[in-house]
Amino acid sequence: MIERDAASVGQLSFGPFTFFPGQQLLVEDETPINLGSRARAILLALLEQQGEVVSKAQLIQRAWPDTFVEEANLRVHIGALRRALGDGQDGRRYIVNIPGRGYSFVFPVERSDAVGAREMPPALAADSPSLPPALARIVGRSETVQQVKALLVEQRFVSIVGPGGIGKSTVAIAVAHEMRGRFSEGVCFVDLSALGDPQLVPAALAAALGVGLRSESPTQSLIAATRAKPLLLLLDSCEHVIETVSHLAEQLFGNGGEDLHILATSREPLRVEGERIHRLSSLDVPPTRANLSSAEALAYPAVQLFVERAAANLGGFQLTDAEAPLVAYLCRRLDGIALAIEIAAGRVESLGVAGLASRLDDRFRLQLQGRRTALRRHQTLSTLLDWSYALLPPFEQLVLRQLAILAGNFTMDDAVAIIADDEATDSEIVNAVANLVEKSLITADVHGLQAHYRLLDTTRAYAAVKLAESGKVELLRRRHAAIFRDALHRANLAWEIQPAPAWTEDHRHLIDNVRAALDWAFSPKGDAEIGVALTLGAVPLWFQLQLIAESHQQVRLALASTDLDRAPHIQMRLQAVLAWSLMQIRGQVDETRTAWERTLELAEALDDRDYQLRALWGLWSGLLNQSRFREALALAHRFAEVAARGSDLNDSYVGYRMIGYILHLLGRQTEARRYLEPMVKGYVVPITGSQIIRFVFEQKATGRCFLARILWLQGSFDAAIAEIDDIVASAEASDDRLTLCQVLVQAACPVAFFADDLVRARRFVGMLVDESARDGIEFWQVWGQCFAGVLMIREGDLSNGIKSLGEALGRLRNISYGVYYIVFLAEYAAALAQVGEFDRALSCLEEALARSEQNEEGWFAPELWRLAGELAALRGGTDAGGEAEQRLATALNIAREQEALFWEIKAAVSLARLWQRQDRVREAEALLAPLVSRFAGSLDQPLLREAAELSDRLKTAASPVGKSKYRKPLDGPATRTLQ
């Protein structure tokens, strides 16, 4: 008997298996076996008391120490454990059910202490979060898995094709697990079986990829997401949405990255360019022979599968010589179809092998030969499932057909809630679900803290027909919608208190059923009131899964579905969601502004301060993007006034950030800093979802962005660099792509270029290009192209840099985003001047100066005037020196007024060079010396070193010795470059 103190046990061995209690790991011949935490706890309890009966109560206490659960939950996990161990295969017995008492582990167990125990095998690489666990063993498919794997490596696009139930998904998942080490991005598994509407295919793929669809052209976003890194895309169960999947798969394969591999499962080929077909054959079955022995029958995979599944369900089935011909007959009559064999094996317990064989007459023969149309395919599946359905007790039939209303994954609580039978108790429903799991009509995933269940797509389609025949479809659809409306309500209560990542993990499984409920609610027979509640409840889920386009579509349906004038509070919330989604997918268009204005109007009428702030922020953002800074500043102060009437200091700090940002853009840097510094110091970053979602971007990060820019402009160079490095690191760690892109655009890239730090610039621009490609959003991609063009120019690739930046400026104009446009225009002008295109350069600078003056975008004005002065000197002509000096003096004066030391130093260096060329050395030296002295001993930045070196040369030239030694201007060809 095993000692019960397992803490000191190094390993527990039985047959080909070893269990490591300390690591909670079961391995078979060096291969880790995928078990959930509940199953591991049950296994350890049985191993500790090998040979003894462990009561069901004891096992439940070990697996669910703080939770009351039905006995059926234990049965589900015992069944999963038996399947993982191959209980009953090759005559091996591990776990035996002792009726009325409990379970016993009957196989001999060897105990080894931690000291001297063999080493635990290296753990396998972590699976993709979306990829279902591989089966512990796959009967009869090892060679097939290797064939598909080799074909996928060579061709990159493979469809596994075959009849329903033959094992396509099993093979595909096994291939994916074997190949996941080849892909840095892992394996993206997309279960299409839950989708009832082909239009949801892009959204399902986007959710699995972790890509937000904020665009009305989802294909481009998905293509962009597949270009960055090696990726295996597994599209499972394509047949019912085959037109949409075929088009999308062809586009992804043709236009995605060269390291994109696609593996699809379908009952018919996708018939698209690049696809290679692997037709999955049935499992091999024994020939017809009366004296077939059990050993001979077990040489065939179909019989192996039957025996293994029967043993897992019966808890000890062993194939005898007498039964071998009957089992072979069953497998032949089922044509080696894995699903049919599993269903049949699940009935051995109640019918026996002989009774099962006698029932399998001509009425149940499966017609699987040859090419089948969709209608015949459904008929075939119906024939298969009719047989299984007829064997179920009436109540299990009711449970199976009513569960067809559920889409995708569901919990046991969902199942209990959906069943419409006034006489059924919760325990009876739980037991019925457990029985259907054991009979392979429902799949169970027990690899988490909460078990999730799912009907196979074929089973669900069949059960849906039976549900329609029962006349209870509409009753159950209404009940289903109400259940998931309430589930979203509970989820939103958790959203107020739970950290967003944990909340998302706990609630992402709701999305398929929410979609199904919304489809019904907004249908002619639906209930728009429930639909509106579902829409509002789903907003956090859409936000966290980045399904912005889906959110936009559904909120439009909600707004159009009913008269909301009598429900202004609901209309206010819907208008806010509409505005927020429009901001992401279309930008600050008129429709966005109208939605925010309507939100504000309703919020003020209702005296709802929260939505007043949301609307004011949205309207402020629109004015900011249009470079209407004075109006934006007034709105920011209005936001601060409303925030001050509340008790949440964070709202006031958001107002400070809005005001500080506008003041910075207006060139009032010291004032801006007085708002931004207390905001950055006092703002508390929220961790719960409800606070995170209010203003889209993480507010402290954006506040730090503009503070970093001001620090740089005012000469705190080291502090600014440290700030941007820390902001980027924090945004990366938070896995918040929207905020990361904002940080890169607003601070990291600009400051890196201000510093002429091309190492940082390459890193930050590369990150921005990669992140914007993942979602395919034009807004961020344009910024990435602009900064990439600037980088090429700074690195000396003028031809390609000018071309790229010129194209990007055109795109930036098309999306009507004005902020920072003048900076890119100035960079473009400087590059044009370097290649001698002075007229075009002058035209660009004049446009930038006009926009700066018109919008009062003063923060960059000193640099524009400095570049204008440099350009005047380069062009030459009558009084070029006087014109250049006037413009450089203007730049210097504006910089001093703004207390922007960085611009002041740049303007002073340019003016000193001009005076040097005019032989006004003493004036030039007097201009630079005080600025250089402020940074004595700290000349890490290229601009400071340049100023110091020029000052030293001017000082030498101004001395009597220098005058006689240096008769010509000191600067050579460098003076002919606009810097």
- Kindly report, residue by residue over 746-789, the tens digit of the pLDDT: 999 999 999 999 999 999 999 998 887 776 666 778 889 999 99
Q: Residue 976's pLDDT band (boundaries 50, 70, 90)?
A: very low
pLDDT at 938 over 80: no
Which of 417-421, 686-690, 696-700 has the largest mean confidence? 417-421
Q: Which helix (H) or strand (E) holds 830?
A: helix 821-834
What does the alpha-carbon distance between residue 281 and residue 263 come to, in Å, rounded to a whole number?
A: 17
Q: Which residue has the higher pLDDT, 121 or 608?
A: 608
Q: Is the dihedral of CA 416, 447, 80, 145 positive or negative?
A: positive
Q: Quickly tell me which residue has 């060079």 as its tokens.
A: 913
- Kindly report, residue by residue over 652-680, the tens digit of the pLDDT: 999 999 999 999 999 999 999 999 999 99
Q: Residue 63's pLDDT band (boundaries 50, 70, 90)?
A: confident
pLDDT at 382 over 80: no
CB 151 within 8 Å of CB 276: yes
Beta strand pairing status for 9-14 and 17-20?
A: antiparallel
Compute CA distances 844 → 231, 849, 880, whole Å.
43, 9, 19
What does the alpha-carbon distance between residue 235 and residue 231 come to, in Å, rounded to a whole number?
A: 13
What does the alpha-carbon distance between residue 568 and residue 606 come to, in Å, rounded to a whole number?
A: 8
pLDDT at 581 over 50: yes
CB 888 within 8 Å of CB 910: yes
pLDDT at 4 over 50: no
Q: Residue 613's pLDDT band (boundaries 50, 70, 90)?
A: very high
Greatest Cα pair distance in the chain = 120
CB 904 within 8 Å of CB 910: no
What does the alpha-carbon distance between residue 787 and residue 830 come to, in Å, rounded to a whole number?
A: 15
pLDDT (mean) for 322-337 = 85
37-48 and 56-63 helices cross at what angle (nearest 10)? 130
- What's the CATH code, domain 142-279? 3.40.50.300
> What's the Rg (C-alpha) of the chain?
35
Cα–chain center distance at 405: 27
At 190, is the secondary structure helix, strand, or coil? strand
- Kindly report, residue by residue over 743-752, the tens digit of the pLDDT: 999 999 999 9
CB 34 within 8 Å of CB 136: yes
pLDDT at 398: 94
Cα–chain center distance at 703: 25
CB 712 within 8 Å of CB 900: no
What torsion, rounded to 10 degrees, do the Cα atoms 369, 371, 374, 380 define?
0
Could you give the strand order of the β-sheet that contains 53-55, starting from the edge strand earlier in sequence?
A: 53-55, 102-105, 95-98
CB 880 within 8 Å of CB 873: yes
Please name every residue paired with 111 in a beta bridge, in sequence order, or none if there are none.
12
71-85 and 426-438 helices cross at what angle (nearest 10)? 10
pLDDT at 366 over 80: no
- Kindly report, residue by residue over 287-325, the tens digit of the pLDDT: 887 778 888 988 899 998 888 888 876 666 788 888 899
- Kindly report, residue by residue over 505-535, the tens digit of the pLDDT: 888 889 999 999 999 999 999 999 999 999 9
- Please provide the average confidence, as pLDDT, over all residues in the chain: 84
Cα 588-666-767 angle, rounded to 5 deg: 55
pLDDT at 652: 93
- Kindly report, residue by residue over 107-125, the tens digit of the pLDDT: 888 887 644 444 544 433 3
What does the alpha-carbon distance between residue 859 and residue 631 come to, in Å, rounded to a whole number?
A: 17
DSSP conformational letter for 349: H
CB 174 within 8 Å of CB 262: no
What does the alpha-carbon distance between residue 239 and residue 585 come to, in Å, rounded to a whole number?
A: 30
pLDDT at 8: 46
What does the alpha-carbon distance between residue 412 and residue 429 come to, in Å, rounded to a whole number?
A: 9
What does the alpha-carbon distance between residue 655 and residue 642 come to, in Å, rounded to a whole number?
A: 9
- Kindly report, residue by residue over 167-213, the tens digit of the pLDDT: 888 899 999 988 888 886 678 888 887 777 788 888 888 878 877 66
What does the alpha-carbon distance between residue 464 and residue 447 come to, in Å, rounded to a whole number?
A: 28
CB 772 within 8 Å of CB 764: no
What does the alpha-carbon distance between residue 410 and residue 418 come to, in Å, rounded to a whole number?
A: 11
Non-local (6+) Cβ contacts of 612 within 8 A are 600, 603, 604, 642
Dihedral class, residue 712 (left if φ above 0, else alpha if ψ from -120 to 50, else beta): alpha
pLDDT at 969: 42
pLDDT (mean) for 834-857 = 91
What does the alpha-carbon distance between residue 535 and residue 840 come to, in Å, rounded to a whole number?
A: 52
Q: Quickly tell me which residue has 């033959």 as its tokens.
A: 166
pLDDT at 215: 63
DSSP conformational letter for 524: T
Could you tell me the end-to-end alpha-carbon distance of the chain, in angstroms, rounded to an integer? Answer: 83
In the chain, where the domains are located: 6-113, 142-279, 294-364, 472-562, 857-979
What does the alpha-carbon distance between residue 275 and residue 249 come to, in Å, rounded to a whole number?
A: 9
6-113 adopts what CATH topology?
A: Arc Repressor Mutant, subunit A (1.10.10)
Q: Which residue has the higher pLDDT, 916 or 966?
A: 916
pLDDT at 553 over 50: yes
Smallest Cα–Cα separation from 328: which of 295, 364, 369, 375? 295
How many residues appear in the chain?
979
857-979 adopts what CATH topology?
A: 1.25.40
Please name every residue paired with 410 in a beta bridge, in sequence order, or none if there are none.
453
Read out DSSP for 916-970? HHTT-HHHHHHHHHHHHHTTTT---SHHHHHHHHHHHHHHHHHSHHHHHH--S-S
pLDDT at 361 over 60: no
CB 264 within 8 Å of CB 145: no
pLDDT at 460 over 60: yes
Cα–chain center distance at 442: 28
Could you give the strand order of the β-sheet that contains 9-14, starting from the edge strand earlier in sequence?
A: 31-33, 25-28, 17-20, 9-14, 110-113
What torsion, rounded to 10 degrees, do the Cα atoms 350, 352, 353, 357 define?
-70
pLDDT at 562 over 70: yes
pLDDT at 845 over 90: yes
pLDDT at 90: 66
At 794, is the secondary structure helix, strand, or coil? helix
Smallest Cα–Cα separation from 492: which of 556, 522, 535? 535
What does the alpha-carbon distance between residue 519 and residue 607 come to, in Å, rounded to a whole number?
A: 34
What does the alpha-carbon distance between residue 567 and residue 565 come to, in Å, rounded to a whole number?
A: 5
pLDDT at 379 over 50: no
pLDDT (mean) for 85-90 = 76
Residue type at 250 in one-letter notation: E
pLDDT at 880: 80
Residue type at 913 in one-letter notation: R
CB 831 within 8 Å of CB 793: yes
Cα–chain center distance at 640: 34
pLDDT at 642: 95
Count of C-beta atoms within a 10 Å radius of residue 617: 22
What does the alpha-carbon distance between residue 542 and residue 212 come to, in Å, rounded to a whole number?
A: 9
Half-sphere exposure of residue 72: CA atoms within 13 angstroms, side-chain side:
18
Q: Which helix (H) or strand (E) holds 265?
A: strand 260-266
Q: Which helix (H) or strand (E) holds 690?
A: helix 689-692
Read out DSSP for 539-574? HHHHHHTT-HHHHHHHHHHHHHHS--TT-HHHHHHH
What does the alpha-carbon distance between residue 143 and residue 151 come to, in Å, rounded to a whole number?
A: 12
Residue type at 286 in one-letter notation: P
Count of C-beta atoms within a 10 Å radius of residue 367: 12
pLDDT at 375: 31
CB 284 within 8 Å of CB 301: yes
pLDDT at 902 over 80: yes
At 266, is the secondary structure helix, strand, or coil? strand
- Kindly report, residue by residue over 30-50, the tens digit of the pLDDT: 677 777 788 889 999 999 988
Cβ-based burial of 716 (10 A; exposed 0-12, middle 13-18, buried ≥19)? middle
